[in-house]
Structure formats: structure tokens, C-alpha cells
Chains A and B, each alone.
Chain A
């Protein structure tokens, strides 16, 4: 969905490096999420934010941190990347007051490889 953009789309880095993945949205949604997708495991929630002042851990937050710079921006950081963080990362947004109650809108994903 072009309303949710992620940068970079692909990144190769080395073990120990600090990496930031960025997400921007033009949908005007308060709620934003970061997911990780591994082959055969579906998507797992890393962090979520229901508004600019709200940050919550998901099921796999260890090794990650986030920053909600504005309503439209939500960044995910890997402070010291390790190979098992190699995965496809998705940002998503939602607004239960609009459209379908449970619909989340996903960005195109960032493919991260940690060597």
C-alpha cells in the first residue's frame, strides 16, 4: 500500500552494526506496528504504538527498540545486529474507527540480511 512506505527496501549489514528501519504513513492513523516475518513462521509482533506517546513491546522485542517521532513516523532499530535477525520486516498502521475494525495496512517490507 503506497500510503505506508518503508526505507530501505533491502539492506545487508554485518554483525554488530546498528541499523534503523524507517516507516512513514500518510493515512493519518494513530496506531502503528512493526512485525517480523520468517519463512514458515508467519508474522510476529515486535513493537506497537497506539499514539505518539505510547510504545509497547510485542512478543519478540528483545534486541530491538523503536521511536515514534510523529504520528506519521515509526522507526525500528537494531542496536547491535546479529545473524538471526535476518528477516523480512513489515510496518503496519490501523485505525479501528475507520473501515474494518481489525484491518491493518502494511508497507511493502524491508528485507534485512545480517552477515
Chain B
């Protein structure tokens, strides 16, 4: 079936280093791929999206890469900060509905 999933459930990163969070998807018909961040006790918060006809999109300290050949999506966070500690979800969308992956918990070490 169609699904969106993440490669690793947890990621530990040294403060100041770059983080890379990976996601595999199976629905080639998705219009967009999106990354959300969920801090403890809060609802998910939109980070960045990428249209399916793009390979790369940059935001503030974040870059999303899309490799349609291997159906792989990644989120790169530059100079990881303590405030980046959260659960990160990739999601895909078609017809304006989101389908979420299981999430990667990122812990930033001081």
C-alpha cells in the first residue's frame, strides 16, 4: 500500500553539528512532500515543503532534498540548536490531505 516512513526512529546530534533526517515514501503520485516538527506537548508545526517536480528547497537553516528515483526525502538542519530537539515527521499530500510517517525523535546534545 501507499505509505510514508522514516528510516530511523531516533537521532542524537551534537549541538552545532548538521542534522540529516531521512524518509522513504512509496506514493509516486504525491503532489508535495512536507516536513513537520512536533515539540513535546504541542501539535505539529510546519517546517518546509517541496513540490514533487523539484529536487531541493531551502528555508531558514533547513534544506529539503527529494530524490524521486529512489523515493527518498531528507531534511537537513544546519548548526543544530537545543530548540531543534523534537519529533520530525515527513508527510506527503495529494488532494490537500496529509499522510504522515511515524516520526524521528531528534535529541540535541550540549
* Complex Cα spacing A109 to B103, Å: 17
B93 part of interface (Cβ distance < 8 Å) = yes
In this complex, what residue of A is CB-closest to B9?
Answer: A40
* A101-B32, A102-B49 known; A45+B99 contact, CB < 8 A: yes
Interface size class of A (residues with CB under 8 A): 20 to 34
Interface hub of A48, A58, A92, A106 (most chain B Cβ within 10 A): A106
Question: A101 touching B45 by the CB < 8 A rule?
Answer: no
Q: Contact between B103 and A107 (Cβ–Cβ < 8 Å)?
A: no
Instruction: Tally inter-chain residue pairs, CB-CB below 8 A.
Output: 57
Q: Report the count of interface residues on B (CB-CB < 8 A).
A: 20
Chain A nearest CB, measured from B9 CB (Å) = 8
Q: Which residue of B lies closest to A94 (CB)?
A: B96
- Per-residue A-contact encoding for B93-110, CB less than 8 Å = 1, 0 else: 100111111110000000
**B49 pairs with A100, CB closer than 8 A:** yes
Q: A101-B32, A108-B42, A108-B43 are in contact. Are A42 and B49 (CB under 8 A)?
A: no
